[in-house]
Amino acid sequence: MSFLSSPTGFLTSTIKDALGWARKYSIFQYPFVTACCGMEYMSTAASHYDVDRFGAGFPRFSPRQSDVLFVVGTISHKMAPVLKTIHDQMCEPKWVVAFGVCTCTGGFYDNYSTVMGIDTIIPVDIYIPGCPPRPENVIDGLMKLQEKIQKGEQSRTLYDPRTKTGRPAELSQGYSIEQHIKHIESSP
């Protein structure tokens, strides 16, 4: 015990590094694919680009067995509660990748039905811009995600479109599911 709590923290930091290394090469991704970006997602996952090299070639379709949520394509206000529920159902530690400009910011869909960036609903760790992003961009994002996983870092911040600032995800009072439901009910 005294060794564990020693000033150098040798054992605890070594275990943390080993866990980070194991996690970053065993990514179980949940692909939440809604639109045309899905084509580029499939292209990246196929043999030519081969995400298996990064330990990320095995998609899971159960949130409870996944640790990285890949959100691929446009998210509407009707879909937002489903996305939030899936994210809530994933066990910790978990990470989120926004794939394509629609998920990052809403893209060119500046209208009543589209969510203007999924980081208003769930915290996002890696943003991959592009319409759609090239596989090289996706691999770059994947490698940046691996760096975060190795360091044990996770995003805990949501973007608040009213104040244009971040706020802690735990205090998700601003853009809640209840607001989404009200938005849907008040839409023509």
Contact segment (CB under 6 A) with ligand SF4 among 4-12, 95-103, 164-172, 178-186 equals 95-103
Question: Residue 35, interface with ligand SF4 (CB under 6 A)?
Answer: yes
Q: Which tokens hold the place of 15?
A: 């275990």
Question: Residue 83, interface with ligand SF4 (CB under 6 A)?
Answer: no
Question: Residue 101, interface with ligand SF4 (CB under 6 A)?
Answer: yes
Question: Residue 107, interface with ligand SF4 (CB under 6 A)?
Answer: yes
Provide, rounded to whole angstroms, the least separation between the CB of residue 142 and ligand SF4.
17
Judged by CB under 6 A, the residue of 131, 143, 168, 182 near ligand SF4 is 131
Judged by CB under 6 A, the residue of 31, 123, 132, 141 near ligand SF4 is 132
Pairing of strands 95-99, 126-128: parallel
Judged by CB under 6 A, the residue of 23, 27, 30, 37 near ligand SF4 is 37
Provide, rounded to whole angstroms, the least separation between the CB of residue 132 and ligand SF4.
4
b/e sequence 129-160, b meaning 16+ C-beta within 10 Å: bbebbebebbbebbeebbebbbeeeebeebbb
Q: What are the residues whose beta carbons fall under 8 Å from the beta carbon of 131, sequence distance 6 or more?
A: 100, 101, 102, 107, 108
Provide, rounded to whole angstroms, the least separation between the CB of residue 131 and ligand SF4.
3
Under 8 Å between Cβ of 77 and 50 = no
For 126: left if phi > 0, alpha if psi spans -120 to 50, otherwise beta; the answer is: beta
Tell me the site size for ligand SF4, rule CB under 6 A: 11
Question: Residue 31, interface with ligand SF4 (CB under 6 A)?
Answer: no
Judged by CB under 6 A, the residue of 36, 169, 177, 184 near ligand SF4 is 36
Q: What span, in angstroms and rounded, lies between the C-alpha atoms of 38 and 119? A: 19
Question: Residue 75, interface with ligand SF4 (CB under 6 A)?
Answer: no
Q: Which tokens hold the place of 51?
A: 């995400």
Nearest to 76 by CA among 29, 119, 111: 111
Q: Which residues contact ligand SF4 (rule: CB under 6 A)?
A: 35-37, 73-74, 100-102, 107, 131-132
